[in-house]
Amino acid sequence: MSTELIAMLGGGASGFIFKLIGTMVSAQQANVDNLIKKQKASTESDDAADKRGGAGGAWIRRLIVVTVLFGVIVAPFLLAHSGDGVTVQSEYSKWFGLFTGTTYETLHGYVILPEIRTAILSIVSFYFGSSTVK
């Protein structure tokens, strides 16, 4: 191969690589711009919802917080002294999964559901997140 041919192939390959890198950078920049626009729209929507909520929305949020905290803090102590139980479903399998069935067991105490844990996490992140921003 002659040096001119090698130089031409090298120049074409390096031009392709730089064009590819430029295209990838512009695509990433467009993606970032779209994410910024999406965040701006989300912020405007949140601000509009906050203006619509007013004092009534604040009282509804407070009622939800009090209800969830009652279910996590007060209710376990009250239900620990009652004789009633909570019936839960459990599935079983025997003989390597050939025979399956459902049994029901009564648990004494208080069952904290995953929904309650999610609500607690939402409350903590909302109130501590908003206090951090302020």
pLDDT at 24: 93
Closest CA to 103 of 121, 115, 91, 85: 91
CB atoms within 10 A of CB 128: 10
Q: Which residues of the chain have pLDDT under 50?
A: none
Closest CA to 88 of 72, 108, 73, 70: 108
CB atoms within 10 A of CB 26: 10
pLDDT at 34: 95
- Structural contact between residues 86 and 106, judged by C-beta atoms closer than 8 angstroms: yes
- Taking only Cα atoms into account, the Rg of the chain, rounded to an integer number of angstroms, comes to 30
Residue 118: exposure state from Cβ atoms within 10 A (0-12, 13-18, ≥19) = exposed
pLDDT at 23: 92
Stated length of the chain: 134
